[in-house]
Structure 1
Amino acid sequence: MAESITNALSKVRLPADRLTLVFTTAAVLGSALVLPTIYRDYCTFRDYGPGGIPNNVIGWLTVRALFQPFKREMFTTEEYVKRVEAAEGHGKGDDGYLTLSPEQLASRSVTDRPVVGPHVVPQRQLTQIPDDDIMDKFCAAFSSFELRNHHLVKLQQSNQEEYSDALFLADHLPATDLAMTMKGEIAHLHSGNDHSVHVVCAPADCKKIIEAGWGQRHGFSGTSAMTFLSLGTLPDIPSEYIMIYAPRTEAEIQTVMDIVAAGVKFMTGCEDVR
């Protein structure tokens, strides 16, 4: 019996190259640790729903491999101070166009921001999603705004995200340089997803909004990444292009629409917003 065991063991051969064995073992263990993380990241991307890029594995790989390296930070406001001081654009200096009271601005907190997905596009929040009733009322408020203000804006499909309705500069109004950069688009609502908003606001207003915790910059804002990556089919995203978090209550619907109104005033140069 002992002799049989000895003979069996003598036939066992270890790999000649032990380094290969080490690398193989490390690769297997690494895959076991990394693959679940990669899969969760892909599932998060899929959960965003339709956006400006295909909501499938091709879109996810494109974002991770090509887009993500161009992502910038989204919360500092020094650049808006510099733009106000340099009198760039037509943003009414330190005043901006926001008419929100200090109490309205303070009703959110920088410590109460929703969690926003890790992918640079599409930019979506993962928490603090409004309930169906608030979603419906917000969509109605967005549409009603266009009907009241057809002298300033028109509603059509977004240039930035084809699945979103957007407010554009009305055809009869002259376009500023910034409006031309955005191809007339002022704001769009992610009505099929989290119900957050992207809007272009005056520099002073961007500063107030971000510092009060109502929103953040887009990861491509202030860069030429979008034009470069889309081979010129999409416009650059200016620094004033910011994300406004979805409203959670009827009071917050009004606040978000006030922010949208400020963006319309900034982009049209007209303050006759109804």
Structure 2
Amino acid sequence: MALTMTTAAQKGASSEDITQVSVNMVIRQDPFNITLDASALLAVSVLLVIGMHFVDRVVLEFMIVFVPVVLLIHNDYLNFLKLGPGGTPPTFTGYARLTWYRLFTLRDPFSPPPRDPTALPSAGILSQRPLPYRPGPRPSVAGLAPQRQLNQPGSQQAYNQLRSSIETLTARLPQKFVTATSCLEKHGFALFSRHPINVCGNGEVCHIHTSDRSMHMNLHPDDIKEVLEKGWGQRHPMAWKGWVRAPVPTTFTMIYAPRDESDLRIVSKIIEAAIWYTTAEQVDIQTVSES
């Protein structure tokens, strides 16, 4: 199966990408809270007393429950919008669809998916040279689609080096790889295989989020286990397997943003593992500093 796309190098980076890459965005998620000053507390008390005398009991009970629920949904919707652009439209309809998916999300994103003995490739490649442990605590992560880091954003230099390295790879192997905007995220820089054996998003190998510089990619379950154990990422919450069809494969994994050149070298090896799972072919990615 061949993939035909306009490469990012051919059409140039969009103004949105340039703007987002140039700024370290702080992604906030505000907790739900209701603050009542003395006047508001007095008004609520008076309304409740009046309601108990002049409003039907069922209606009053409904209003007492309904108002906080509406405020909770409103706060949750605003937090969804604050995650920035992603694969889900930033509309209330898109938010409602994600709310449905929440019923089926993974309860433990740090456990690898089971292996399929009939799938190719038959094993991962990270065990050949095991990853070191990621220094420091894991970043805080929120959201489904989009899923983003709330802290520890990747550095500008690491992003530029990684993107340049991937573009160099596609220039070296144009018959095998191409870069374009992500099919899954609808935003952000992505690497595609022209002839994938495990197809996801038209052969998408990985994509980089321009807001926090984290990544999503598909990995062999063996390599997912290595990534999880060493602290370099976590599974996507919608990568479940069940009677409800998941929007993404069970192998869909979030890789944390590289903070420095040391992280970048490890993340490059993980991308090589994603290429292996997508194409069953080992390819070396040289970072700009290495080359």
TM range (shorter): 0.7 to 0.9
Q: Is the 8 A contact 1:152 1:268 kept in 2?
A: no
CA RMSD of aligned residues (A): 3.2
Query: What is the rounded CA distance, in whole Å, between the counterparts of 1:36 and 1:14 in structure 2?
Result: 23
Q: Residues 172-230 of structure 1: CA distance to partner in whole angstroms, max 9, x if unpaired?
A: x4x42x22x55322211112x211111111111011101211111112214479967xx
2:19 — aligned with what? none
Partner amino acid, structure 2, of 1:215:
G
Name the SS for the 2:53 alignment partner. coil
Trace 1:154-165 onto structure 2 (pairs within 5 A). 154-165=178-189
Could you tell me which of 104, 109, 113 is aligned with 2:138? 113
What is the count of residue pairs matched by the alignment?
Answer: 236
Q: Is the 8 A contact 2:178 2:191 kept in 1?
A: yes
Trace 1:38-117 onto structure 2 (pairs within 5 A). 38-64=73-99, 66-77=100-111, 79-80=113-114, 83=115, 87-93=117-123, 96-98=124-126, 101-102=129-130, 104-108=131-135, 112-117=137-142
Partner amino acid, structure 2, of 1:267:
T
Structure 1 residues 44 and 139 mapped into 2: Cα distance closer, same or farther (>3 Å)? Answer: farther
Structure of higher CA gyration radius: 1
Q: Residues 101-153 of structure 1: CA distance to partner in whole angstroms, max 9, x if unpaired?
A: 55x421346xx111111x32111111111243433333333333433443432
Name the SS for the 1:105 alignment partner. coil
Offset at 1:243? 0.8
The answer to whether the aligner puts 1:190 opposite 2:219 as a matched pair is no
Query: What is the rounded CA distance, in whole Å, between the counterparts of 2:82 and 2:119 in structure 1?
Result: 37
Offset at 1:99? 6.6
Query: What is the rounded CA distance, in whole Å, between the counterparts of 1:263 and 1:13 in structure 2?
Result: 61
Q: Is the 8 A contact 2:219 2:251 kept in 1?
A: yes
Name the SS for the 2:205 alignment partner. strand
Runs of at least 5 residues in structure 1 that lack an aligned partner in the other structure: 1-11, 229-235
The answer to whether the aligner puts 1:239 opposite 2:250 as a matched pair is yes
Query: What is the rounded CA distance, in whole Å, between the counterparts of 2:261 and 2:128 in structure 1?
Result: 15
More off after superposition, 54-63 vs 254-263: 54-63
Work out the percentage of aligned pairs sharing the same amino acid: 25
Partner amino acid, structure 1, of 2:202:
K
Q: Is the 8 A contact 2:106 2:240 kept in 1?
A: no
Name the SS for the 2:148 alignment partner. coil
Query: What is the rounded CA distance, in whole Å, between the counterparts of 2:159 and 2:243 in structure 1?
Result: 31
Structure 1 residues 169 and 16 mapped into 2: Cα distance closer, same or farther (>3 Å)? Answer: closer
Name the SS for the 1:256 alignment partner. helix
Query: What is the rounded CA distance, in whole Å, between the counterparts of 1:58 and 1:151 in structure 2?
Result: 40
The answer to whether the aligner puts 1:265 opposite 2:284 as a matched pair is no
1:141 — aligned with what? 165
Runs of at least 5 residues in structure 2 that lack an aligned partner in the other structure: 1-49, 286-291
Query: What is the rounded CA distance, in whole Å, between the counterparts of 2:146 and 2:141 in structure 1?
Result: 10
Q: Is the 8 A contact 2:178 2:192 kept in 1?
A: yes
Partner amino acid, structure 2, of 1:263:
A
Q: Is the 8 A contact 2:101 2:238 kept in 1?
A: no
Partner amino acid, structure 1, of 2:117:
A
2:265 — aligned with what? 254
